[in-house]
Structure formats: structure tokens, C-alpha cells
């Protein structure tokens, strides 16, 4: 498919533009932080861009943590079906 | 007005039971009953109580409290809008079960005593199981049985707890309970199981996504929020609920991040959202309890909206995995837009309903100087945007082009979504009507410049994290192990082992018994069988001889004695 036939949201140059707009908005929120005073309950919320870096870092942390946990917890989709299917039959055979 | 003597919840239960009678009756009842229920609730005076003597107890089948009325209102609204979403596509069984389910949930919220509460609690378990059944496929049936097992266990704990509590205190009143003995802990455990608390959180993500497109919309609303209501009444300020709530919040985020099934992502995020409410109840200040109640109200609406948009996608495409979906915004723009509104609301974006409710909980953690709780809640708010706010719409409607070009959702589905989207934005912009019906007077002002800036920073940078980390979030064709592994795998194999061992023991015992019996038969056969000495035929002559001998011996005895 030609790039021009695609929906405008899917065209490469527009995706780049969207990123620029997004980054500009991010910058605006951080700059706006200079003009408001956060109520300082814990001595850190009023520091520059606290919510920005805290939101970013914790989200990266959660994604990485989920990824690591996934190594141990992820199983194929039919994990229970294949296992339980065989098990169910076995019960039925044994039970009269 | 005439006095309210009939429990409004029972109205929906009975109406639900009449629904299989015909499509016309059903479609009328779906629209009339919830409205009638709401009118009944709101026309009764505040603190209105109906009592009913029963086995020496004074039951209170109707007790209108502010908190109960709030929940009953949103439950009725849910039944109505859910009905609009479902009435054309869902089966009679599903609609009927959904109304029994909704009605019993309303019954719980207006129950003044523990016995009434328990009865409605159990009807709820049956109604919701039938809603899952209505999907009529094998996986749904098996999931519904697992679901029912968990809820029967919860109901059992609750019943033991209530019985113990009544014996100890002599009171069946449903009010704030002190955690004095094991009975109250059992009641707490019964409530928490329905809230999706650890360790039994897996039932939500196991059962809800197996229901039909509209079934999961109904399911998302009632069970967990009824549990929130009961905790709110019985255990406000219970310290134990704070760690449980925070665990649920992060459990929901992490598991949703690992998940591939779009409705299972949303199911995990139910646990996450209920975690916020449970934490708020644990904090126990007036503002925190208001926050928990308001969040439950807002949550039912935006979560239903999200599941409606996922349900519409499932209905139109038949696909539920993120790996199969993507690019649907091109042909389902309205479903996408309305789903995004729900996603923004769940993320507590400013000017949506989540913003004006959830922030009360975090604010009261700050007011109590609970640093760990506050930092956890702030991280979790960012995490909600990550796992539900962006992940759901991104993977379903954008991501890659799946090549699918499904038609827009049916009109009744769109209408239901529009109604709830209007509520999401309306409550966000104009929260006063909701604040006015909360349990306590609201002194909280959500729209301050500082709060807006903080929330925008938190959420938008969470969004940045999502797109930066996108390569790490590639969906895989997997499920994630959870506590249900114990009952779907370990207990199952233990069960299979017990069954096969006991059946082997039984067959051995059977063989042994058979052998003993055979020996007995052989012995009898030896003496009484065809060739046995006692079953031989005797000649008539020997008979006469022996009779002669007997008679002779009589004669002899007679002479001698």
C-alpha cells in the first residue's frame, strides 16, 4: 500500500508530527510546574517536575518488573486446556 | 406517597424471572424496572426502615442509608444502560440472569441486617454464574463453575462469620463491626473474596472475559462493588485494608501489562480500581470514604463503558486477543472514541469522572502523612494510564493494521456507550450532583491549578513511558499463572491422584470381597451343590427305612421312660 493511501494517522510524516506535538505538550506541563505551588506534604512534591519524572520512572519500573515476572509466570494459552482436558478424561475413566 | 414496603431490589429479581416469557415483556421490563427502582429509592425518606419479625429476629429488608442509596442508584443506572446495550443481541437467559443479579445487588445495598444481606448475597452468586453460562460455550461453562466455587466458599465464610457474630453479640444489625473475634474476620474474608482481594483475585480475570460481549459488562459492575459497599459500611478505617488494597492495585497493573486478551486486561484493571477503593476504606477518614464511594460510582460507569467498547469489538470481529486486533479506529471510529473516553476516565484524566473521585483517596493519604501509601497511590495512578488508559485503546484500535474492516457497532450498543460517555465527562466537569449524594459532606475541591499540573505531568509522562517501552510490551500468545494455578492444577492433580488411588483401593477391596464370597459359595456348593452330599436324591426305600427307624425309636423311648 502506498503511504498516501493510508489513513492520515498511519502516515510516517504525521506520526513524526504527532511525536513533536506530544513532546511540546510534555514540556508545557513541566514549565507550568514552575508557576504553581504544590502542597508539600512529604518535602518533594514541589521540586521541579516531580510528578513528571516520578510518573515516568515508576511506569518504566512497572513495565520492567512485569517483564521479569513474565519470565516465571507466562504460559502458553492452552496451558490449562491441554492439562485439564487430559485430567478430566482420566477422572471420568477411573470413576466407573 | 404510599409507603415503600416492597424491597426495590426484589422488583428487579422478580422482573428478571419473568423475562423468559417473551421478547415483548422482556424489552418492556428492561426499561421500566430500573427506572421504577430508582424512583422508589429516591421517593422514600432518608433513613427509612421497614422491619419484619423472623425467627425471633427483627429483619430490616429495606433500610435506606446515604451510602446504600448511592450504590443502589448506580446499580439501577447500570441495569438500565446495560439493558440498552444488550437487549437486541443478548439471549433471554442472559438478560433474565443479569436482572436477577442486579436486583440482588441492589437488595444488598438496601439491607439493614446481616440475614437479608446474606440471602441477597447468595442470589447474586447464582445470577452472576448464570450470566456467564449464557455465553453457552465450553470454556465459559468451566470458568463459571470455578467462579461459583470461589463464591460459594466466600458465602460459606460469610455465613459462618454471621452465625458466630449473632451468637456472640445477639445482634443481626448490618453496621460498623469491630474486629473482635474470628467471626468478624470471617465476615471480612467473605466480603473481601467478592472484592477480588488476594489470594483469590484470579476469579475476576478467569470468569468475566468468558462471558458474552454484554455479559461481561453486567458482571463488571455488581459483585466487586457490592463488596466495596459492604466493606464501606462494616469495616471503615480497618488498617488491614490498606495493604490489601495496595496489593490489589499493583496486582491489577502488573497482570494487565502481561495480558493479551483485551477483556482480561480490563478484568485485571477491575481489581486495580477496587484496590483504590479498598485502600480508601482502610484510610477511613470522611474524605477517604467519600472518595471510595465516589470512585465506586464513577468506576461502574467508565468500566462498563470500556467493556462495552471491547464487547462491541468482540461482537463485530469475533476476536479478543490484542495480537489479532489493531487498526479498528478506521471503521469503528465511534466505538474507538467512546472507548477512549472510558480509558481517559479510568486514568483520572482531568475533566473526567475518575479525576474528581480517585484524588480524594490520595488526598486523604497525604493529609494523614502516610508517605508510603501516598507514593504508592501516585505511582499507581500513572500505572493505570499505562495498563488500561493507553494499552487498551492502543492495542485494540491503533497499533498495527490487522486488516480487519468491521462495521461500526449496532445502534443500541452505541447509544448505551454514548450515555455512559456523557456521564464520564459530565461528572468530571460538573461533580457537584455526585458530591451531594456522597455519605459525608464534601469539602474537597478537585480543580486547583496545582492538582491539574500534577495530574497532567503524571499521566502524560506515563504515556511517554508507554511509547518508549513499547518494544518491551509486544504481546505474546500467553496467559499468566496466578493463584488459580493451585486450584486448576495442583488441587486438580491432587484430586485426580486421590480419585485414582481411592478407586484402585476400591477395586482391590472389591476383588478381595469377591474372592471371599466365591470361597463361601464354593463351600456351600461342595455340600449343597448338584454333587453335594446334602442335595443328592434318595431312593423311596431308604426314606421308608428311616421313618421306620424314627417311629421305632419313639416306641422305644415310650417304653423305656
Separation of alpha carbons B94 and B83, rounded Å: 10
Predicted pLDDT of residue A82: 63
Peptide bond into B199 cis (omega under 30): yes
Q: Widest CA span of chain A, in angstroms? A: 78
Separation of alpha carbons B280 and B198, rounded Å: 17
A36:B449 CB<8 A:
yes
- Give the nearest partner residue to A62 out of B383, B456, B499, using CB atoms: B383
Separation of alpha carbons B225 and B71, rounded Å: 8
What angle, rounded to 10 degrees, do the helices at B92-109 and B66-86 form? 170
Chain A residue at shortest CA distance from B486? A80
Contact by Cβ (8 Å): B11, B37: yes
Separation of alpha carbons B454 and B378, rounded Å: 10
User: Quick check: B458 pLDDT over 50?
Assistant: yes
Higher confidence at residue A93 or residue B436? B436
Residue B289 DSSP one-character state = H
Residue A31 C-alpha, separation from nearest chain B C-alpha, in angstroms: 10
Residue identified by cell 512529604 is A42
User: Quick check: B134 pLDDT over 80?
Assistant: yes
Instruction: Note the helical H segments in A5-78.
Output: 12-32, 50-73
**Which of B 489-528 lie inside 8 A of A, CB atoms?**
489, 492-493, 495-496, 499-500, 503
Q: Mutate which of A58, A67, A85 to test chain B, going by most B C-beta atoms within 10 A?
A: A58
Cα A17 to Cα A10, A12, A20, A64, B279, distances in angstroms = 11, 9, 5, 28, 41
- Give the nearest partner residue to B469 out of A50, A52, A63, using CB atoms: A63
How many cross-chain Cβ pairs, A to B, lie less than 8 Å apart? Answer: 159
Chain B residue at shortest CA distance from A42? B371
Higher confidence at residue B235 or residue A1? B235
Condensed to tens digits (0 to 9), the pLDDT of residues B146-173 reads 999 999 999 999 999 999 999 999 888 8
B462:A39 CB<8 A:
no
Contact by Cβ (8 Å): B235, B178: no
Condensed to tens digits (0 to 9), the pLDDT of residues B360-415 reads 999 999 888 888 999 999 999 999 998 888 989 999 988 888 888 888 888 899 99
Element (H, E) at B57: strand B57-63
Contact by Cβ (8 Å): B123, B131: no
A91 — contact with chain B (CB < 8 Å)?
yes
Per mean pLDDT, which range of B112-121, B438-447, B546-555 is the poorest? Answer: B438-447
Separation of alpha carbons B271 and B244, rounded Å: 11
Q: Say how many residues make up chain B.
A: 561
Which has the closest alpha carbon to B382: B346, B337, B330? B346
Residue A41 C-alpha, separation from nearest chain B C-alpha, in angstroms: 6
- Give A2: exposed, middle or buried? Use CB within 10 Å, 0-12, 13-18, 19+: exposed
A62 — contact with chain B (CB < 8 Å)?
yes
A47 — contact with chain B (CB < 8 Å)?
no
A36:B378 CB<8 A:
no
Residue identified by cell 446515604 is B66
Chain B residues in contact with A35 (beta carbon < 8 A): 449
Question: Which residues does A56 contact at the CB level (< 8 Å), separation at least 6?
Answer: B461, B462, B464, B465
Question: Which residues does B4 contact at the CB level (< 8 Å), separation at least 6?
Answer: B40, B43, B44, B48, B50, B62
- Read off the pLDDT band of A95 (50, 70, 90): very low
Share of chain B above pLDDT 70, in %: 99
ipTM over 0.90: no
B459:A63 CB<8 A:
no
- Read off the pLDDT band of A3 (50, 70, 90): low
Condensed to tens digits (0 to 9), the pLDDT of residues B283-304 reads 999 999 999 999 999 999 999 9
Q: Widest CA span of chain B, in angstroms? A: 133
Amino acid at each position: 500500500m502506498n503511504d498516501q493511501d493510508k489513513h492520515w494517522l498511519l502516515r510516517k510524516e504525521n506520526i513524526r508530527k504527532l511525536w513533536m506535538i506530544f513532546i511540546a505538550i510534555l514540556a508545557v506541563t513541566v514549565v507550568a510546574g514552575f508557576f504553581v505551588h504544590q502542597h508539600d506534604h512529604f518535602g518533594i512534591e514541589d521540586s521541579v517536575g516531580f510528578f513528571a519524572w516520578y510518573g515516568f520512572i515508576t511506569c518504566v519500573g512497572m513495565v520492567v518488573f512485569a517483564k521479569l515476572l513474565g519470565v516465571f509466570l507466562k504460559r502458553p494459552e492452552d496451558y490449562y486446556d491441554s492439562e485439564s482436558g487430559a485430567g478430566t478424561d482420566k477422572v471420568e475413566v477411573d470413576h466407573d | 406517597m404510599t409507603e415503600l414496603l416492597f424491597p426495590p431490589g426484589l422488583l428487579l429479581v422478580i422482573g428478571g424471572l419473568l423475562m423468559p416469557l417473551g421478547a415483548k415483556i422482556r424489552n418492556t421490563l428492561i426499561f421500566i424496572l430500573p427506572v421504577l427502582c430508582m424512583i422508589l429509592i429516591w421517593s422514600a425518606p432518608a433513613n427509612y426502615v421497614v422491619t419484619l419479625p423472623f425467627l425471633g429476629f427483627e429483619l430490616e429488608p429495606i433500610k435506606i442509608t446515604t451510602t446504600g442509596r448511592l450504590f443502589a442508584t448506580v446499580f439501577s443506572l447500570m441495569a438500565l444502560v446495560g439493558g440498552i446495550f444488550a437487549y437486541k443481541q443478548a439471549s433471554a437467559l442472559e438478560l433474565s440472569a443479569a436482572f436477577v443479579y442486579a436486583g440482588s445487588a441492589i437488595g444488598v445495598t438496601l439491607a439493614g441486617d446481616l440475614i437479608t444481606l446474606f440471602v441477597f448475597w447468595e442470589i447474586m452468586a447464582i445470577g452472576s454464574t448464570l450470566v456467564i453460562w449464557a455465553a453457552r460455550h465450553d470454556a465459559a461453562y468451566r470458568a463459571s463453575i470455578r467462579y461459583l466455587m470461589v463464591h460459594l466458599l466466600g458465602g460459606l465464610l460469610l455465613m459462618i462469620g454471621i452465625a458466630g457474630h449473632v451468637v456472640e453479640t445477639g445482634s443481626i444489625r448490618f453496621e460498623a463491626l469491630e474486629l473482635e473475634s474470628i467471626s468478624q474476620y470471617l465476615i471480612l474474608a467473605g466480603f473481601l473474596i467478592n472484592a477480588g482481594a488476594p489470594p483469590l483475585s484470579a476469579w475476576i480475570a478467569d470468569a468475566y472475559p468468558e462471558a458474552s460481549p454484554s455479559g461481561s459488562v453486567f458482571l463488571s459492575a455488581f459483585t466487586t462493588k457490592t463488596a466495596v459497599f459492604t466493606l464501606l459500611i462494616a469495616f471503615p478505617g480497618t488498617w488491614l485494608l490498606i495493604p490489601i488494597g495496595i496489593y490489589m492495585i499493583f496486582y491489577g497493573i502488573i497482570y494487565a501489562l502481561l495480558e493479551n486478551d483485551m477483556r482480561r486486561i480490563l478484568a485485571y484493571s477491575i481489581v486495580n480500581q477496587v484496590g483504590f477503593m479498598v485502600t480508601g476504606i482502610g484510610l477511613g477518614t470522611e474524605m477517604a470514604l467519600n472518595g471510595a464511594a465516589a470512585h465506586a460510582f464513577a468506576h461502574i460507569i467508565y468500566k462498563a463503558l470500556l467493556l462495552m467498547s471491547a464487547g462491541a469489538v468482540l461482537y463485530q470481529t469475533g476476536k479478543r486477543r490484542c495480537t489479532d486486533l489493531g487498526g479498528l479506529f478506521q471503521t469503528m471510529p465511534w466505538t474507538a472514541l467512546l472507548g477512549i473516553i472510558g480509558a481517559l476516565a479510568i486514568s483520572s484524566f482531568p475533566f473526567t469522572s475518575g479525576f474528581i473521585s480517585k484524588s480524594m483517596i490520595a488526598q486523604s493519604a497525604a493529609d494523614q502523612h502516610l508517605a508510603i501509601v501516598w507514593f504508592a497511590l501516585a505511582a499507581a495512578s500513572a500505572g493505570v494510564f499505562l495498563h488500561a488508559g493507553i494499552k487498551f485503546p492502543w492495542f485494540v484500535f491503533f497499533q498495527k493494521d490487522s486488516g480487519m474492516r468491521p462495521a461500526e457497532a449496532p445502534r443500541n450498543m452505541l447509544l448505551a456507550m454514548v450515555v455512559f460517555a456523557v456521564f464520564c465527562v459530565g461528572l468530571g466537569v460538573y461533580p457537584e450532583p455526585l458530591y451531594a449524594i456522597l455519605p459525608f459532606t464534601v469539602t474537597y475541591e478537585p480543580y486547583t491549578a496545582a492538582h491539574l499540573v500534577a495530574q497532567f505531568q503524571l499521566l502524560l509522562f506515563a504515556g511517554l513511558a508507554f511509547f518508549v517501552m513499547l518494544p518491551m510490551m509486544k504481546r505474546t500468545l500467553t496467559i499468566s499463572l496466578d493463584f488459580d494455578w493451585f486450584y486448576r492444577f495442583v488441587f486438580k492433580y491432587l484430586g485426580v491422584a486421590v480419585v485414582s488411588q481411592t478407586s484402585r483401593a476400591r477395586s482391590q477391596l472389591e476383588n478381595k470381597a469377591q474372592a471371599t464370597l466365591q470361597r463361601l459359595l464354593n463351600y456351600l456348593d461342595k455340600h449343597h451343590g448338584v454333587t453335594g452330599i446334602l442335595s443328592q436324591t434318595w431312593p423311596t426305600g431308604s426314606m421308608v427305612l428311616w421313618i421306620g427307624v424314627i417311629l421305632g425309636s419313639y416306641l422305644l423311648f415310650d417304653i423305656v421312660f
